[in-house]
Amino acid sequence: MPYWRLSSFYFFYFASLGAMLPFWGLYLQDLGYSALAIGQLMAILQATKIVAPNLWGWLADRTGRGMGIVRLASLLSWLAFATIFVVRGFWDMALVMIVFSFFWNASLPQMEVVTINHLGSRLRRYASIRLWGSIGFILAVLVLGALVEREGSLVVPVVTLGLQVAIWLASLLVFERPVEARAIHEGASVRGILRRPEVAAFLLAGFLMQTSHGVYYAFFSIHLTQAGYASDLIGGLWAWGVVVEVLVFAVMHRLLERFGARRILLVSLALAALRWLLIGAFVTEPAVLILAQVFHAATFGAFHAGAIHLTHHYFTGRLQGRGQALFNSLVYGAGGACGSLGSGWLWSEVGPLATFGASALVAALGLGIAWRWVDRERRF
């Protein structure tokens, strides 16, 4: 298993995410965009996940060239992002975000399939590779937080472009491992799998989980800035959440063996609801924010590892590419886009506290759906 080659891709991919999620909203705000416009532009990054992973997943399943898709998408994503330095106005920025994120969002689902195929029967070791993505995220937010504090937000696109190039270079080092066709039953189809109540409930709960995260990704840094926090401290809070996430990833294989993916999903949703209430109501209390960021280990780290585990069991063999693509598009794509758009509107109309409160309700609804329908009789 090419452990370090696989890990390097996750490291740079999530480092680029660490550059964009905490600081892109601040960059857009410094360029003069309104809260509604920021919510719309951030939603584009998620909305392209609705289309891109499915299109590229279908192509990967048909050709059996998942790594070829990853390399091509990684190359085109940084070429598209490089045009960010010449755009002017909302619509130009939106067009760049659409083209860039269409390719950027294509690579990760296929990389998940490649990684899972390399792991084979050692699937529970997935988290030990994925944790390097979290380490990349931590380093990016800490370094970029200090740079933004000293140089201003104009360094954000420069650092992001460098990381996008690094993603492409890392993709060139990973080789393909064929999918074992015997893992899929005769006549199985994506549509048939989606008709199963536990699968539909799993995807809906995941959609609601990511919808609840929309305000966090789009406005958490702005929320902290308005409360008087410096950029390096904001980066530190983002990084702290992911530090705890790394610790969870390191022991996730043991947690999955002991508790199963269903229980991990339920706990993650419950802690998400609590997390948004704490951030919304106690932004001026650093100790409370530190506690709330600890829950990131559950709301993103544990949730993601458990969800990847479930998706792998639902979509097998030659359906893996489309299964991971569907998960990414419906959960992270549609859910993230709805969360960003909704939070942008709510932030403008009713303010931060109500917006975070609405996110908590959305996570609680996902908890109820998962508890009622997701794999009550099985334990993965």
Alpha helices by DSSP H, listed for the chain, are 3-20, 24-30, 35-63, 66-81, 89-119, 126-151, 155-171, 190-194, 197-226, 231-281, 286-294, 296, 303-314, 320-327, 336-349, 352-373
Say which residue, 250 or 104, is predicted with more confidence.
Answer: 104
* Amino acid identity for residue 351 in this structure: G
* Residue whose tokens read 């998942």: 66
Query: What number of CA atoms fall less than 13 Å from residue 349's CA on the CB side?
Result: 10
pLDDT of residue 130: 83
Say which residue, 160 or 319, is predicted with more confidence.
Answer: 160
Query: Residue 58's pLDDT band (boundaries 50, 70, 90)?
Result: confident
pLDDT of residue 220: 95
State which of 126-135, 209-218, 237-246 shows the largest mean pLDDT: 209-218
Burial of 161 (0-12, 13-18, 19+ CB in 10 A): middle
State which of 119-128, 324-333, 340-349 shows the largest mean pLDDT: 340-349
The per-residue pLDDT for range 268-310, each reduced to its tens digit, is 999 999 999 999 999 999 999 999 999 999 999 899 889 988 9
Q: Which CATH architecture has domain 3-177+188-373?
A: Up-down Bundle (1.20)
Q: Is the dihedral angle over the CA atoms 206, 112, 76, 245 positive or is it negative?
A: positive
Residue 237 has pLDDT above 80, yes or no: yes
Phi and psi angles of residue 31, each rounded to the nearest 5 degrees, phi first: -80, -10
Angle at 241 between CA 379 and CA 23, to 5 degrees: 125
Which sequence spans correspond to the domains of the chain? 3-177+188-373
